[in-house]
Structures are given as C-alpha cells and as structure tokens.
Copies of this chain bind each other. A is one copy, B any other.
Amino acid sequence: MQAALTVYPVVGLPEIDRGADLAGMISDVAELADGDVVVVTQKIVSKAEGQMVEVDPNDPDAKRLLAESQAVRVLRRRGDLVVTETRHGYVCANSGIDLSNVEEGWAALLPEDPDRSARRIRDGIRARSGRTVGVIISDTFGRAWRRGVVDVAIGCAGVRGIVDLRGTRDGLGRELVATEMCIVDEIAAAAELVMGKASAVPAAVVRGIDPTVLGEGSVTREVVRPYGEDLFR
C-alpha cells in the first residue's frame, strides 16, 4: 500500500525555557520537508513565551481562581473543574491552565495569541531550514457529550483551519451541500498519537497532507465559534 500520511515524533528536543528558539530547535532535530505540517504542543510554546505563573500548591482554590482570571465567561462548574470560555474564544476546562509537565509551584497559561505563535515558528523554521511548512499549536481539550480528551488546534499558520467541501461532488457525482472539515483539529489529533502524554514528546511532523489544505489559516478566526453562533453556551 502506498503511504498517504506519515506522522513522525520530534525527539531530542531539550527542556524548554523562557526565550527558547523553538523553530531553531525543531529545525535542528527534525528532517523537515516542504509541505510538512509541524504540530507543537501548547506547553512548550507557553514555556518558551514565558506564559508561566506561580501557584501556591497548598492553596486548594489557587488553580480555580487562576482559571477564572483567564476567562471571559464561566460556563459550568463541577467540583474543582470549571469549564470556561477564554478570551481567545476557546471553551475548555480551567481556561487551558496546566500544572503537569511544569515545575512544582508553577502553571502554564495558554499563549497570548496562538495563531501568532504558529506564524513565528513557521517563519523561524523557514529562516533556519529554508523549508516552507504549516504549523499547528495543539492542546488537549475535553468535549461535550463524549468522554475523554483529544488534541485540537489552538493556533495555526500556513495551513487552513477549515476546508470547505461545499460544491465539490460526492462519489456518486452529486453536489455535497456542506462539509466543512476542521482539518487542523484532525491533524492535531493525528499528531497526538505519536506523542503520548507520559513520554513527553512535545512536537510531531505530519507529512503527506493534501497540498490544497496548505495556505492562509487561523484557528481563532476560522475554528472558534463565536458566542452568538453557538447553540450550546
């Protein structure tokens, strides 16, 4: 069978500190090719961008209060969990704040503007390696109606967020009415399969993405559903 899509873990990255040149580091350890999509987890982007805040590990309310400080809207509460809408428009648990894979006493906030983070990494990879790639910043979100979490895109550059198949024809030649595939979420999910939360591989390369999917893209503009359009908020 001919492979259509291959997902490679990016191994060998050092521990990421504030100011780390992620684009350079990834270019150095991954053999990138034009048209690859590089998926970078939010955690190392937040670390490199210095989006870290101290939390008192002995204060049981600290994480919840921090999450609420990052939210424009609290949608649901259950015990320790708050489901919030962040100022970017993401709906997720605890405003995406994370205390795993960070130093004790610290929490990672989401990047300020993950689409911009993706553009910077994309530009940096081009500058360092000469390769033109798409970049997705991924994070692990829960869902309504379905148990378990999956990785989704919170930012992208050089890859379209949504691909509209409206007007293309189905296999029987009839026009498809509306199939707007959220390609960046599917790529983020595919990348997670080689990362593993415990093995701490914080980036992956997806090779073989349909070139028509590459181009201008933005998660906040394309994928985030505005409050007024949403049926479940």
Count residues of chain A with CB under 8 A from any CB of chain B. Answer: 73
A128 part of interface (Cβ distance < 8 Å): no
> Hey, what's the 0/1 contact readout for A150-162 against B, CB within 8 Å counting as 1?
1110000000011
Pair B198/A165 contact, Cβ less than 8 Å: yes
Pair B91/A144 contact, Cβ less than 8 Å: yes
Q: Which chain A residues (205-233) contact chain B, with CB distance < 8 Å?
A: 205, 208-210, 222-225, 230-233
Partner of A6, one of B6, B148, B149, B169: B6
Q: Is the interface of A mostly helix, strand, loop or mixed?
A: loop
Copies of this protein in the assembly total 2
Pair A186/B233 contact, Cβ less than 8 Å: no
Q: Which residues on the B side are within 8 Å of A25 (C-beta)? A: none
> Hey, what's the 0/1 contact readout for A74-110 against B, CB within 8 Å counting as 1?
0010100001000000110000000011111000000
16 A-B pairs in the complex with CB atoms less than 8 angstroms apart? A1-B8, A2-B8, A3-B6, A4-B8, A4-B193, A90-B145, A144-B145, A144-B231, A147-B180, A147-B222, A148-B181, A148-B185, A171-B198, A181-B192, A189-B190, A194-B208
A positions within 8 Å CB-CB of B: 1-9, 30-31, 76, 78, 83, 90-91, 100-104, 140, 143-152, 161-162, 165, 168-172, 174, 176-177, 179-183, 185-187, 189-190, 192-194, 196-200, 205, 208-210, 222-225, 230-233
